[in-house]
Structure 1
Amino acid sequence: MDTVPRAPLARLQQAGKQYGRTRALEQLDLELHAGQVLALLGPNGAGKTTAIGLLLGLHAPDAGTAELFGLPPHSLQARRRTGVMLQTAGIPDTLQVRELVALARSYYPQPRALEECLALAGLQEVQRRRYGQLSGGQQRRVQFAMAVCGRPQLLFLDEPTTGLDIDARQGLWRAIRELAAQGCAVLLTTHYLEEAEALADRVMVIDHGRLLAQGTVEEMRARVSQRRIGCVSVLAPAQVAAWAGVQDARAGEDGRLQVIAAQAEPVVRRLLAEDPSLSELEVRRAGLADAFLALTARSGPPMNAEEAA
């Protein structure tokens, strides 16, 4: 029996937004479904913040539509089912972590237990400290706890792990995966492309307000036919960079020779032939970061000096 596809929880349809002479978004389509983590990627000024602002009802589109749960984004019914963690937050410095999360919980009819919120964000050890006494990374974790305390069906995370150390970042990744597994839809923006690679079911790359590409992480990788070759070699990078088929060659921070080539096999054969002492050879395919850089490099210059958010 055929199943009826579920309606998206968040949707932009042909959405456009202009600030003065600057077109921040141009005919952007976006859909986010339950249990999905969608990474919205783009350089500074690409239009990511504008897209989120339209979905949250902070701005109205000049063209097209924005919907949450099939409702206008500013409607109270939609907002009660949504959690938000933006890049900036006006939070009182004098309240304790525990007090802040308890206050945020009080706005929702069926919130998560306070201890569950603290555990999801890894805040148990600092729950009695005042917000103003926390490090930047700890404050981001408080903001995450406040965003998820209402059991949102839809979660907006705008650069959520900025300022977090490796352990804290991994902890937040685990929490995001857990929420998605429970059916929460997550819209993620991040400058850490390894974060998108680790979390996202689907990726959208935008620049200058336009969609450049979208697909799974694997589909995005496949757009770039590159191989990265690393090794310990006596060959000079400048020498290798002149070979046919080599796109770039340089010495890495660890002193290893790093080569980018369209095809690995002929370059590896020549490396081995010209340096019999070569060791620690490693070949890997292009990652999401390579695809992102290739896509945004092709997208052209900004429309004008007043770049969109």
Structure 2
Amino acid sequence: MATYEYALRTEALSKSFKQVRAVHNLSLSIKRGEVVALLGPNGAGKTTTIDMILGLGSPDAGSIEVCGMTPRRAIEHGKVSAMMQTGGLLPNITVRETVKLIASFYPNALSPQEALERAGATNFADRMVKKCSGGQQQKLRFAMALINNPELIILDEPTAGVDVEARRDFWAAMRADASQGRTIIFATHYLEEADDFADRIVMMNRGEIVADGTPRELRAAGSGRTLCATLTAQPSDVEDALHAFPLTSLDMRANDFTLVAEDTDEIAASLISRGLARDLTIATRSLDDAFVAFAQQEN
């Protein structure tokens, strides 16, 4: 029975490659049972962070603890498994044979059939790996990652390069497995994946954490709300009225305008009561907008 509280703890973790600073001063704690997305563009430091979590790279500075021990010990004890962005598969054996082969390396492995079922791979289990689609090969990699029944599973860009349907099927399998209480950390640059699947999102940019919270918290804290409306007065009159409110941005056109602010309800009420605008719409901004806002704060 696990006795640790945190599946992952890092303190001031840093890693550079010659003149390139990949990860800088990264401090992060993830509790057991959390589903956490590492979100950021290519080059944000996600894969380098994952490599250090898995003991595949050593930090230049700082500390890291995985499942209450060093990364290498956690791997040796079968507490951690990973599904990496790259990694070859044996093309001339079947999916089932591949999973059986991996199972033979672990003394307390799941049965190959159970791993295949949990990964959603039973309907093509007897197909040769080389004849599997990209999405099917990702499910195979997921079954391989599950075979040792890890307490923490790491996914690095798990659906990169697969089509929309395959991506949807993969996450359905992941949701079912996550419901059993496994800790999952996945790196992605697909914002909709982070928004739909993660309990918590850690946004990274240029090797640093720029935001950390639930999807709803990040949307609210990072970008406010958007108000769009049609002008019923001169643009200068509307601009004068808006000066009374703190705005994040304002885009004024000939016949309409769009603004971003924290208290859009109060702004809308003021504009309507003064007859300055009509056809108002208010919407919560997207996670994409939030990420851009957080990244700009760091520049």
* Coarse TM-score class (shorter-chain normalised): 0.7 to 0.9
CA distance in 1, matches of 2:74, 2:204: 29
What letter matches 1:124 in structure 2?
A: T
Q: Which residue of 1 aligns with 2:23?
A: 25
Q: Which residue of 1 aligns with 2:192?
A: 194
Q: How much does 1:247 deviate?
A: 4.2
Q: How much does 1:153 deviate?
A: 0.4
Q: How much does 1:258 deviate?
A: 10
**Match of 2:90, SS?**
coil
Cα contact 2:135–2:170 (8 A) shared by 1: no
Aligned length: 282
Q: Which residue of 2 aligns with 1:129?
A: 127
CA distance in 1, matches of 2:60, 2:135: 36
Cα contact 1:229–1:283 (8 A) shared by 2: yes
CA distance in 2, matches of 1:129, 1:259: 54
**Match of 1:284, SS?**
strand
Cα deviations across residues 37-82 of structure 1 (Å, max 9, x unaligned)? 1111122111111111111111111111122222221236545121
Q: Which residue of 2 aligns with 1:293?
A: 292
Q: How much does 1:229 deviate?
A: 5.9
Q: Which residue of 1 aligns with 2:151?
A: 153
What letter matches 2:100 in structure 1?
A: A
Q: How much does 1:141 deviate?
A: 1.5
Q: Which residue of 1 aligns with 2:112?
A: 114
What letter matches 1:287 in structure 2?
A: S
CA distance in 2, matches of 1:129, 1:159: 24
Q: Which runs of 5+ in 1 are unaligned?
A: 251-256, 301-309
**Match of 1:74, SS?**
helix
Deviates further, 44-53 or 285-294: 285-294
Whether 1:63 and 2:69 are equivalent positions in the alignment is no
CA distance in 1, matches of 2:14, 2:128: 41
Q: Which residue of 1 aligns with 2:36?
A: 38
| Identical positions, percent | 36
**Match of 2:126, SS?**
coil
Bigger relative contact order (CA 8 A; separation at least 6): 1
Q: Which residue of 1 aligns with 2:283?
A: 284
Cα deviations across residues 224-266 of structure 1 (Å, max 9, x unaligned)? 34334689x9x9xxx9xx976694779xxxxxx9955325555
What letter matches 2:113 in structure 1?
A: E
CA distance in 1, matches of 2:88, 2:291: 32
Q: Which runs of 5+ in 2 are unaligned?
A: none
CA distance in 2, matches of 1:275, 1:284: 17
Q: How much does 1:172 deviate?
A: 2.5
Deviates further, 87-96 or 261-270: 261-270
Cα deviations across residues 263-300 of structure 1 (Å, max 9, x unaligned)? 555569979x8998x6xx86421232221121123322
